[in-house]
Amino acid sequence: MVMLGALLWATASQFVPPAISCRERLQPRANVETPTPRAVTADDIIELRDFGDPWQNPSMDSPFALSPDGRHIAIALRRASVAGNDYCYGIMLVSLDDDTWRLLDAGGEPIIMSSDYFGRADKVNGTVTSPPLAWSPDGKWIAYLRRDHGRTQVWRVGLQEKSAQQVTHAPVDVRRFAWSSDGTAIRFTTRPGISDAEAAIIAEGRSGYVFDDRFWPLSAERPLPQGTVPYVEQTIDLATEVVSKAQPSSPRPSGKDNAIARPGDPDTLAWLEPEETTAFLTSKRLHASLQGREEVCSAAVCTDVAGFWWDRDGSVLLLHDESYAGGGRLTLYRWKPGQTVPKRQWQTDALLIGCTLLQSSLVCAEEAADQPRRLVRVAVSDGMITPVFDPNPEWTAIRTGRLELLKVKSADGAPSFARLVLPPGHRAGERHPLVIVQYTSRGFLRGGTGDEYPIHLLAERGYAVLSFHKPPQPGTEPPSPDLDSFVRRNLAGLAERRRDFTALEAAIDAAIARGAVDPERIAITGLSDGASTVAYALLHSQRYAAAILSTCCDEPSFTQYLSGPAYAAVTEKWGYPGYGEEGFWPDYSLAQDAAKAEPPPILIQASDEEYRMALQTVAALRAARRPVDMYVFPDEMHVKWQPEHRAAIYARGIDWLDYWLRGKMDDDPAKKEQYRRWHALAASGSGRSPVSARP
C-alpha cells in the first residue's frame, strides 16, 4: 500500500526530491537555534523521535539500557513519517562520559503491542513501541528485537562493529530474550503453537466453523487462536549458531525475586511486597533485610513506589509516585532501614521513567508537559535535572502556551487533576473555546490516550485545552480480591462513570473560574475508557457544544453479541444487563437515549476493526435526527498506528471543532464534501447548529 502510493505520487510529480534515509531521519539536528519560537504543526507532533513504550507511567519498564560499566546508554529510537506512512527504527548509543551519541543500526518495521485478550491469543491493539534492549555481560554488544519482512527476531550490534547482525532465524516471532551469564549465548522465547492453531482453524473452515467462544465477531469472521497456546524457550550458541531444543518457557520473576542487593553485600536486600497477597491491584510496600532481619518501611510514602535503589551509605532511595492527589508529582525519599520516617530529598513535577542510580545521580527518561521524552541526570541531593540526550532538539524552536495544574475531587471525594493549556498568544480578558482531552495527563502532553487530539496544536489554533487525568477506580478502594470483583465494583451503580464525570465537571468549573474559557463553547473527546466518559457526560450534562469519539460505544449490541459469546458471558458476570434486560442502559446508552436526549454534534473516527461497535449508536442518533458523522480507517486497531491516518484524524478533528465551536471552515477545495455533510447535519432539525449561527 505504501509502495503503490509512493509510485503514484512520483509518477504525477515533475520533481521528486531526494529521499531522506532512515539513518538521517533518526539523527537529531545539531545546533538548533531559536531566535523566534514558531507555531507547532501536526507533523512536528506525529514525527517526534520516540523511545520506549508510549505510556506516561514512572513504574513501567525502563525505556533505555545502561551498560555494565555505567558509561553508555542504549535506546531504540523510532520516528514516524507522514509522507511515507511508515516508521524508522534505529539503535542509538549515548556516552555518559561526554553526552555524545552515535547511531549503531537503522532499519526494521513497526513493532505493535499485543496481549492475550479475554482468552484470545496475541490480540494486537495498534500501539507502536520500541523493542527492549540488553547489554552483553562484557559490555561489547547490545542485543534487541527487530522486525523485518513481517517477522521479529533477535539482532545484535557491537560497539566497534560496522553493521548489525541477525542472531535468531526462528520460523515465528521472538517474544523475549536474555543473555547467558557468560555472554556466549542468548535465550529466546517464541510461541510456535500460534501458527499451528491458525492452520487448524483454516482446516476447520473447509467444513464450516463452530460458532463458539473462539469468535470475536467485532473484528474477525472466523475463530481466533486461544490464549492457552504455550510459550517455549530455546538457546542459541553465538559461536556455533546451534539452537537448543525447545523447552516450556519459565515464568517471569515476581515478588521477592525482583529484590535488589546492596552493592558488595548480596545478603542485604530491598524489595516491594504486596500488602494483600490475595488482592487484585493491591499496593506494594518497601521492605528490606539486614543480616537476616526483615525491616518494613511503615510510612505512607513507602507505597506507590516508582523505583528504589541502595545508596552508598546503606540507605534506600525511593521514588514515591503521587499520581492522583499530587497531580502526578514525584518525590524522592531516603530511608534508613530500621528507622520509621523516610527523609524527603526533593519533589518534581517532571515525569521520570525507568531511573537507575549511577553514583550521585539518577539517570532517567524524563518528560514535562511541554517537553518530549529525553535522557537526563537527576541529582540525588537536590533534584537538579541535567539533560544527557535530547532526541528532539528541534522542539525547542516551537512555542507552547501557558500551563496550569488544576487539582480537583470527584463528588465522592476521589482526587484527580487536569492541566489547562492556554493559547500561546493568550491575552488577559480573552475567553477561548475549550477542548477536553482524556484520560491521562502525565508527562508530555501529546494527544491524550491514543494520541488523536494534539494538545499543543489545538492551543496554537486558539483553543484552551483541558488535559484530564481520571481519578482512581472505585474497585481499588479497598482492593478487590480478583478482576471480576474489581470490575463489578466499578460497574455497580455506574460508580466509575459517575466518579469520572463529577471529577471532570469539577475540572471544567475550575478552568472556567480562571476567566479564560468560554462556557458556551466546550467540546469533549475520548478513546476507550475516555469514550465511555464522553457518552456518560453527554447524557448527564448540556454544557457540551461538540464531541469527538475515537471508539464508540459501550452499548447492548457490543456486550451482548458483537464481541462474541465468551465476552458476553464475562460482561454479564460483571454486572452488565443480559440480553433483553434494561438494567443501567437508560442511564448510560447513547443509542437508547438518542430520542429523548439532545447530545451535541458527534464525530466518530473509528478503526475498521472496531467501527461495528458504533453501528447501534449511529443508527439510533440518525433516526432521532441527531447530528453524527463517522469515518472508518482501514487496517487499524484499537489505537490507530498509521502516521498518515493520525495526520488525517488531527486535521478533521480540528475542522470539526472549528465548524461547531467557531463557525469556521477551511477553504481547501478537497474538503467541500465534508462541509456539505456538516451543513446537512446543522440543518437536520436537531436544534444544534454552529456557534456563530446561534442567536
Distance of alpha carbon 495 from alpha carbon 317, whole angstroms:
37
Angle formed at CA 217 by CA 213 and CA 218, multiple of 5 degrees: 125
For the four alpha carbons of 574, 580, 585 and 586, in that order, the dihedral sign comes to negative
Q: Is 610 in the active site?
A: yes
CA-wise closest residue to 431 among 514, 361, 357: 514
User: Please, what's the b/e burial string for 18-52 (b: 16 or more CB within 10 A of its CB; e: otherwise)?
Assistant: eeeebeebbbeeeeeeeeeeeebebebbbbbbbbb
Which among 136, 416, 528, 607 is annotated as catalytic? 528
Which among 480, 638, 644, 645 is annotated as catalytic? 638
User: How many CB atoms sit inside 10 A of residue 487's CB?
Assistant: 21
- The string of DSSP codes covering 586-646 is GGT-HHHHTTT-----EEEEEETTTGGGGHHHHHHHHHTT--EEEEEETT--SS---HHHH
- Which parts of 413-545 are beta strand (E)? 415-421, 432-437, 464-469, 517-526
Task: Please name the helix (run of DSSP H) or strand (run of DSSP E) that holds residue 672, with its range, or none.
Answer: helix 672-682
CA-wise closest residue to 546 among 467, 499, 597, 600: 600
7 Cβ neighbours under 8 A, 6+ residues apart: none
3-state SS of 75-86?
A: EEEEEEECCCCE
Q: Is 456 in the active site?
A: no
Which among 610, 644, 645, 686 is annotated as catalytic? 610
Which residue intervals of 541-603 are DSSP H helices?
A: 556-557, 565-574, 590-593
Which residues form the catalytic set? 528, 610, 638
